Amino acid sequence: MVVGDFPVELDTLVVGAGPGGYVAAIRAAQTGQKVTVVEKGNVGGVCLNVGCIPSKALIEASHKAEHAHGDEALGIKTENVSVDFSKVQEWKGTVVNKLTGGVSGLLKANKIDLVQGEVYFVDKNTVKVMDDKNSQTYTFKHCIIATGSRPIELPTFKYSDRVLDSTGALNLKDIPKKLVVIGGGYVGTELGTAYANFGTEVTILEGMKDILGGFEKQMSALVKKKLKSKGVTIVTEAMAKGVEETKDGVKVSYEANGKEETVDADYVLVTVGRKPNTDELGLEQVGIDMTDKGLINIDDQCRTNVDSIFAIGDIVAGPPLAHKASYEGKVAAEVIAGENSVIDYLAIPAVVFSDPELATVGYNEEEAKEAGYDVAASKFPFAANGRALSLNAGEGFLKLITRKNDGLIIGGQIAGPNASDMVAEVGLAIEAGMTVEDLALTIHAHPTLGEITMEAAEVAMGTPIHITK
C-alpha cells in the first residue's frame, strides 16, 4: 500500500458510469447505501457519448436533410438543399452535453461520489483506483461492475483516420462521398442509413445471408428495400479481406460469390460486434468466473461467483443494449439492499432506428414454437391505418404472438414508423400478463399509429374491423 493511502470504506462501489452503472448507483443510493462511482472516461459511457444518443441525433438530422429535398407525390418540390455538417455535429454535441450534464447532476443530487480513474481489483472487497498521478484504495461491502464494451477491431482492418469504428463515423467533419460499411447489424445499418440520407454513396458488406440477422426476414426485407431506394449497395455473404489506405481514401477488398472484388471509398466503417471491457480490471485476482469471450457469468440476481461482486450490462451474457444494462443495474442494487429482485429478460425490447424502424419484444413466432408454445401470429398492416397513410408511411406491419388457448400476449414485432415507441405498449402487455382482449378493449385515440396495436389484437380475436379476415 502507498504510504498515506488510507482506504476509503464504502457500502457499494460501482465501476463504470454508463447507463448500467449510473442507474445502479442511483438505485443503490435510494436504498440508503453509501455509493461511489468510478469512471475512467466520460459520465454516461458509450451510450450517451459515442453510441445511442449521438447516433440517434445524427439519424434525425439525416432524416430532416432527406425530407428537405421534398416529395413529388405530395406536390412538394425544393431546390438547392444544403447541409452544413459542422452545424449538424455542433447540434449533436449539445444533445450529448445536456444529457451527460444531467447524469452528473443526478449523481450529485443523490449524494453519490464520482471518482475519475481506472479500477484494479486487489481482492473481493478491495480495489485500487488510479489516475495519472495518484492511487487510492477503496474497500467495499459490495461492488457492481458495469464497464461496458468496445468495438471489435479486425486484424486486417486496424482503426485509423480512414478505417473507422462507430465513434469515428459519428464524428466525421464532412459528409463522405463514399462509405463502405463492414457489418450489416444494427449499428452498421443505422449509420449507413444516416449517411445515405445525407447523400453518401454507401456499400454494406455483410458476412451472413442477410442484414439485421436478429430480426425476422420479413422485417429486414423492408429495410433492405428502403436502403436500395436510397442508392445503398448491399452485398451479403461477403467476406471482407483487407484495406489499402490511400492519401484520399481506402480500397476495400472482399470475397463474394467466389470472386475477389474491390470497392473504393473515402472511409470504411467496421461494425462487426463489441468486446467486453473485462480484460484490464485484475479480475483474475478475485477468481471471477468468466467465459472464453471475456463475459462475466452471473446468476439471476446479477451476482457473480464471488458473493460481494455483481456484474451488469455488456460484460454479461445477452445483447449489448443500454436499457438491458439499466434494468440489470436496478436489480443488482436492489439485491444488495436485501430486496428479492431477479432478472427476467422476456419483455426487454430490441430496436433498430433503420428506415423503417424495427422493434421486437418477447418471443417471435419461431422462438415461441421452439419454446413449446402453441401460438397464433396476428398481423395488421400500417397500410390500413389512417395516420400511417397521412404520414406517407404505409409500409410495414405489427404482429402479435399469442398463446392459442387463452390469447396471452407473449411477443410482438413491429416494422414501421415510430416502431421504437410503439413497442412499449406490447412490452407492457407481456410484463402485465395481458391478453389480446385487454388490448382490443383499450380505447386508442384516432387517428394514431397506436391504433395498429389494437387492430392487431382484434385480428387475434378473429374480429378485425379495418381488414378482412
Q: What angle do CA 442, 446, 447 make, to 5 degrees?
A: 135
Residues 6+ apart with CB under 8 A from 369: 375
Give how far the C-alpha of residue 387 lies from the chain's centroid of Cα atoms, to the nearest Å: 27
Length of the chain: 469
Exposed/middle/buried for residue 27 (C-beta within 10 Å: 0-12, 13-18, 19+): buried
Contact 155, 261 (CB under 8 A): no
- DSSP summary character for residue 260: E
The rounded distance, in Å, linking the Cα atoms of 222 and 217 is 9
* Beta strand spans in 166-281 (E): 178-182, 201-206, 233-236, 238-245, 250-256, 259-265, 267-270, 274-276
SS3 category, 222: helix
Query: Which of 69, 142, 444, 446 is the catalytic position?
Result: 446
The rounded distance, in Å, linking the Cα atoms of 7 and 145 is 19
SS3 category, 285: helix
Closest by alpha carbon to 204, among 172, 230, 222?
230
* Beta strand spans in 302-405 (E): 309-311, 350-352, 358-362, 375-381, 397-403
Reply yes or no on whether 446 is catalytic: yes
The rounded distance, in Å, linking the Cα atoms of 299 and 332 is 11
Strand partners, 290: 296
Backbone angles phi, psi at 257, to 5 degrees: 55, 35
The rounded distance, in Å, linking the Cα atoms of 396 and 63 is 18
The rounded distance, in Å, linking the Cα atoms of 48 and 41 is 12
SS3 content of the chain, % helix, strand, coil (to 5): 35, 30, 40
Query: Which residues does the annotation mark as catalytic?
Result: 446
